[in-house]
Amino acid sequence: MPLTQRATRATFRVLGRAAPPAAVALGSALYWRTGAPAPVRPADRAVHDAARQAPLAHRPTAHRGRDPRADTAGTVTVATYSWGEPGAPAVLLVHGWRSRASAFGRIIEDLTGAGLRAVAYDAPGHGASGGRRRTGLDDLAIIRRLSDAEDAPWAAVIGHSLGVLAAGIALHEGLEAERFTAISGLTSARVTTDGFVRTAGIPWALRDRFAAGAQRYALPDHPDVYERFDLLRRTVPASVPALWVHDAGDRVNPHHLSEQLHEAHAASSELFTTTGLGHNKILGDPPVRSRIQDHLAAPASA
């Protein structure tokens, strides 16, 4: 375990016993930090540079003080991208935490090679976008803006990790798409706070207090965020066939999360399990890419 992570866990263990409110407050502030944006990987550089880019002005949902990267109107610039012929059917891509749109590089190549158009964005605090915080509410707002600009429903929506949860809830709330592919997905917002509690070393007895504190810290006007972002209860419509893709050894989001999602969508979904790919390599794996293409090309009645 890296020294900084050991020190963080030790700090939270001490604070959790001696000063629980301080542990909750510190954890809530750290929970929302996106950290330094991930750079474009060399393998994705050609795809990234080939995109048509357009800025999107977005007002961040989280408002714990003014975002120092926001302009005088309180908005941040979100980088959006598109690849493929402008009039082709479009596929929306939603990336995960501490990732960026270009992480879908190989999948984007597959989509455009199949005559589709790929549309993606760097979430706030990620990639080339402004801001320092990202919430699921930000993703929903940006997805809605991109969807409104389309002349037809999405041919498909593809999400990775945290992006699965945001995209799935958008579909539950009326986003129109013909297919959904979820890679290394999450079931709910509560899973993200639980994961932070375990990783940071916050005593498990403070789990509920931390979840409530994290919500109040950045989303005080949205007390229903945990109920709203629950893909096991607020499922993707059965009219949108779903493919859940997950590696058995994923150490970031355990495989059983996609098992639960598949069970919750049993009438309209499939589960594709890989081994040895982990959380991120799965995005570029040829058999995974082939399976995604098969899913997108399947007849509507399949």
Per-residue pLDDT at 63: 61
pLDDT of 5 reads 79
Rounded mean pLDDT, 118-146? 96
Q: What is the pLDDT of residue 3?
A: 47
Domains of the chain: which residue ranges? 1-31+189-228, 44-188+233-297
pLDDT, average across residues 239-260: 98
Q: Render pLDDT for 82-118 as a digit per residue (tens, 0 to 9).
A: 999 999 999 999 999 999 999 999 999 999 999 999 9
Q: How confident is the model over 138-155, as a mean pLDDT?
A: 97
Determine the pLDDT at residue 72: 45
How does residue 1 score in pLDDT terms, banded at 50, 70 and 90? very low
pLDDT > 70 in the chain, percent? 94
- Percentage of residues in the chain with pLDDT exceeding 90? 90
Mean pLDDT of the region 66-88: 81
Cβ-proximal residues to 221 (8 Å cutoff; 6+ apart), any chain: none
Q: Is the pLDDT of residue 150 over 60?
A: yes
pLDDT-derived band at 298, boundaries 50, 70, 90: confident
DSSP-assigned beta bridge partners for residue 159:
94, 182
Region 163-179 average pLDDT: 98
Query: Which pLDDT tens digit goes with each residue over 14-69?
Result: 999 999 999 999 999 999 989 899 999 999 999 999 999 999 999 998 766 555 55
Cβ–Cβ < 8 Å for 281, 253:
no
| Domain 44-188+233-297 falls under CATH 3.40.50.1820 | yes
Q: Is the pLDDT of residue 134 over 90?
A: yes
- pLDDT value of residue 66: 53
SS3 of the chain = CCHHHHHHHHHHHHHHHHCHHHHHHHHHHHHCCCCCCCCCCHHHHHHHHHCEEEEEEECCCCCCCCCCCCCCCCCEEEEEEEECCCCCCEEEEECCCCCCHHHHHHHHHHHHHCCCEEEEECCCCCCCCCCCCCCHHHHHHHHHHHHHCCCCCECEEEEECHHHHHHHHHHHCCCCECCEEEECCCCEHHHHHHHHHHHHCCCHHHHHHHHHHHHHHHCCCCCCHHHHCECCCCCCCCCCCEEEEEECCCCCCCCHHHHHHHHHCHHHEEEEEECCCCCCHHHHCHHHHHHHHHHHHCCCCC
Distance between CA 117 and CA 90 in Å, rounded? 4
Q: Sorting pLDDT into bands at 50, 70 and 90, what band is 70?
A: low
Contacting residues for 162 by C-beta, under 8 A, at least 6 apart: 96, 97, 136, 186, 192
For residues 156-166, average pLDDT = 98
What is the spatial distance between Cα 89 and Cα 150, in angstroms, rounded to a whole number?
Answer: 10
